[in-house]
Amino acid sequence: MEIFEVNSRKEWGQFLQVPFSIYKNDPNWVPPLFMEQRRLLNRKKNPFFKHCIYKAWLIRNNGLPAGRILGYIDSAYNDLHKEKTGFFGFFESINDQQVAGTLFTVLFNWLKQEGMNNVYGPMNFSIGNECGVLISGFDSSPAIQMNHNPLYYPSLFDKANFEKEHDLYAYLMTEKMVVDKENLLPRLRRITEKTLQKEGLKFRKINMKNYKSELGNINTLYNDCMQNNWGFVPSTEKEIFYAGESLKMIADPEMIFFAEVDNRVVGCSLSIPDFNEVLKHMNGRLFPFGIFKMLWYKKKVRSFRMLLLGVNEEYRKKGLDILFYYYTITRGLELGYNKSELSWISEDNRNLIGIVEKLGASRYKTYRMYRKHF
Whether 167 has a pLDDT exceeding 90, the answer reads yes
Whether 77 has a pLDDT exceeding 80, the answer reads yes
> Could you report the per-residue pLDDT of 306-352, keeping only the tens digit for each?
999 988 888 877 878 888 988 898 899 999 999 999 999 999 988 88
Given pLDDT bands bounded at 50, 70 and 90, which one contains residue 144? very high
Mean pLDDT rounded to a whole number for the chain: 92
CATH superfamily of 172-368: Gcn5-related N-acetyltransferase (GNAT) (3.40.630.30)
Q: What single-letter DSSP state applies at residue 210? A: G
Whether 178 has a pLDDT exceeding 90, the answer reads no
> Could you report the per-residue pLDDT of 2-43, keeping only the tens digit for each?
999 999 999 999 999 999 999 999 999 999 999 999 999 999
- Judge if the upstream peptide bond of residue 32 is cis by omega within 30 degrees of 0: no
Whether 183 has a pLDDT exceeding 80, the answer reads no
Average pLDDT of the segment spanning 98-115: 98
In the chain, which segments carry CATH 3.40.630.30? 2-167, 172-368
Average pLDDT of the segment spanning 131-143: 97
Please give the distance of CA 117 from its chain centroid, rounded to a whole number. 26
Pairwise pLDDT comparison (222 vs 54), residue with the higher score: 54
Average pLDDT of the segment spanning 232-238: 91
Q: Distance between CA 230 and CA 225 in Å, rounded?
A: 12
> Could you report the per-residue pLDDT of 251-266, keeping only the tens digit for each?
999 999 999 998 899 9
> Could you report the per-residue pLDDT of 273-308, keeping only the tens digit for each?
999 999 999 999 988 888 889 889 898 999 999 999
Whether 236 has a pLDDT exceeding 80, the answer reads yes
- In the prediction, which pLDDT does 118 show? 96
Of 102-116, 163-177, 190-204, 275-289, which range is least confident? 190-204
Q: Distance between CA 139 and CA 209 in Å, rounded?
A: 40
CATH topology of domain 2-167: Aminopeptidase (3.40.630)
Whether 182 has a pLDDT exceeding 80, the answer reads no
Q: Distance between CA 204 and CA 260 in Å, rounded?
A: 8
Whether 133 has a pLDDT exceeding 90, the answer reads yes
Pairwise pLDDT comparison (178 vs 74), residue with the higher score: 74
Q: Distance between CA 326 and CA 189 in Å, rounded?
A: 7
Surface-to-core class of residue 182, CB atoms within 10 Å of its CB (0-12 exposed, 13-18 middle, 19+ buried):
exposed
- Judge if the upstream peptide bond of residue 57 is cis by omega within 30 degrees of 0: no
Closest to 70 measured CA to CA, from 92, 45, 94: 92
> Could you report the per-residue pLDDT of 95-106, keeping only the tens digit for each?
999 999 999 999
- In the prediction, which pLDDT does 93 show? 98
Contacts of 370 (CB under 8 A, 6+ apart): 120, 121, 122, 133, 157, 162, 163, 164, 165
Measured in degrees and rounded to the nearest 5, phi and psi for residue 217 equal -60, -45
- In the prediction, which pLDDT does 315 show? 82
Average pLDDT of the segment spanning 201-209: 91
Given pLDDT bands bounded at 50, 70 and 90, which one contains residue 184? confident
Q: What DSSP string runs through 269-308? A: EEEEE-THHHHTTTTT--TTTHHHHHHHHHTT--EEEEEE
- In the prediction, which pLDDT does 316 show? 78
Given pLDDT bands bounded at 50, 70 and 90, which one contains residue 181? confident
What percentage of the chain has pLDDT greater than the value 90? 69
Contact 361, 177 (CB under 8 A): yes
Q: Distance between CA 240 and CA 109 in Å, rounded?
A: 32
